[in-house]
Amino acid sequence: MSKSITSTLSSSFIKAEATRLGFAACGIANARTVEPKVQEAYERWIASGHQAQMAYMNRNLDLRYHPDLLLPGCRTIISLALDYTPTERIAPDHPQIAFYVYGPDYHDVMKARIRELAKAIFKSSEHSDYSEYSELEGGRFRVAVDTAPMLERYWAEKSGIGWIGRHRNLIVPGCGSFVFLGELLLTTDVDQYDSPIPNRCDTCHRCIDACPTGALSQSSEENKLEEASFDARRCLSYLTIEHRGPFTPEQADIVRNQPTPRYIYGCDRCQLACPHNNRVYKANTPYKPHDTNTPFQASPRLTSMTATDWATLTREQYQELFRGSAVKRAKYEGLMRNIETICSLNECK
C-alpha cells in the first residue's frame, strides 16, 4: 500500500541536492495563484499581438495562473536554473547560432536532472517508500521544462533565484542569463520558502541598445512586470525559430539586415550585451561556464561551420550535425529558409 508523504521537506537539503546535481541556482516558492497584476499584464501583452504566431501562449490561462490545476494539491514550486554557457564559441566571422542549441536538447537534460532531484527528495523523506518514487510522478510531484503551461520566469523570480532583465530573460546573480529554467512541483510543504530579490537592471539599457531590430523597448516602472516592452514580431529569435512558413518581405528584411555576425538560428545579442553576462561578453578568449561539467558544448564540427558549409547543408548533414539537438524545432526547411534569406555562397557572415 502506498505510504503518504506528510513531513515538511528540508529546503537546505533540497538546495544541497540541486547543487550536487549541477544546477546553478535553486529557489523555492509557495505555490499560490499568480498575482492578479501579473495575470493582467500577461493578458495585455497577448491582446497587443506582440506574441506573434505563438498562439499557444493564449491557451490554458487557468493552468498558467493556478499551479494546483497542473498538480492537484500543489504546495511548492522549486525553480531550477542550469547554466548553458559554452566554453567554445563559433568564430565571430562565421554565421552564428544561439548558445542554447550548441549542445544536446535541454529538455532531456533538464528533465533527467529534475527527476534525479525528485528521487533524492523522496528517498530522504522518512515517510516515503523510495521504491515507489516513480509512481509518485503526476500525483505527488510534477516536472516541468517548457512542457507545462507555466509562467516560469515569474516562478523563478518568486523563488528568488534571479530577476527578469529588460531583455526579458531571467538573470541569476553571479551566473547570468544563459540558463535553462525548469520546475519541480510538489504537494508537500518545505520548512523555508524564498523571497524575490531586487531587480538590478537599474538605469542600464545596454540590451535595448544592442538589439538591431527594435524588438526591445524601455519598460516603465509600472509595466516592468509585463512583456509590453518585447515585440516578438521583430525578434530574430522568434522569426528564425518559431515562425512557420515563408517570411513576408518585411520579416525577410529584418532577418537579412541584421549586422554581422549574422544569426541563422536564434539570437544572443541582447544577452551578450548584458553586464551580468560579463564573463561571456568579455571573452573571445576561453572562459569558464559556471557548471564546468556542462553538457551544452558545441561539437568541433559545429563551431567550424563556414558560410559555404551552411549554404550547402544537405538534409543528411543537418540530421548528423543536430542529432539530439533542439534545433530540430525549426526543422531542416526552417533552418534553410533562414540561411537562404541571409546567405549567398559568397556573402554570409
Question: Where on the chain is the footprint of ligand SF4 (CB under 6 A)?
Answer: 165-167, 201, 204-207, 210-211, 213, 215-216, 235-237, 267, 269-270, 273-276
Whether 309 is catalytic: no
User: In whole angstroms, what is the distance from residue 78 CA to residue 95 CA?
Assistant: 37
Q: Which residue number, 175 or 215, has a Cβ lying nearer to ligand SF4?
A: 215
- Please identify which of the residues 129, 146, 189, 309 carries the catalytic annotation: 146
How many Å is the Cα radius of gyration of the chain?
21
Q: Name every residue whose Cβ is closer than 8 Å to that of residue 247 and which is 6 or more positions away in sequence.
A: 239, 255, 337, 341
Residue of 175, 173, 218 lying closest to 196 (CA atoms):
173
The one-letter code for the residue type at 100 is: Y
The grid coordinates of residue 331 equal 526543422
What is the DSSP secondary structure assignment for residue 89, as one 8-state letter? -
| Count of CA atoms in the C-beta half-sphere (13 A) of 232 | 18
Alpha-carbon distances of 124 from 10, 15, 117, rounded to whole Å? 10, 13, 11
Q: How far is the CB of 263 from ligand SF4 (least distance, A)?
A: 7
Kindly provide the residue ranges of all beta strands, DSSP E only, lying in the chain, ordered along the sequence. 25-30, 76-83, 96-97, 141-144, 163-164, 170-171, 179-186, 263-265
Q: How far is the CB of 204 from ligand SF4 (least distance, A)?
A: 3
Q: How far is the CB of 223 from ligand SF4 (least distance, A)?
A: 15
Q: Which residue number, 266 or 289, has a Cβ lying nearer to ligand SF4?
A: 266
Q: How far is the CB of 91 from ligand SF4 (least distance, A)?
A: 19
Q: How far is the CB of 182 from ligand SF4 (least distance, A)?
A: 21
Q: Which residue number, 113 or 166, has a Cβ lying nearer to ligand SF4?
A: 166
Active site residues: 146
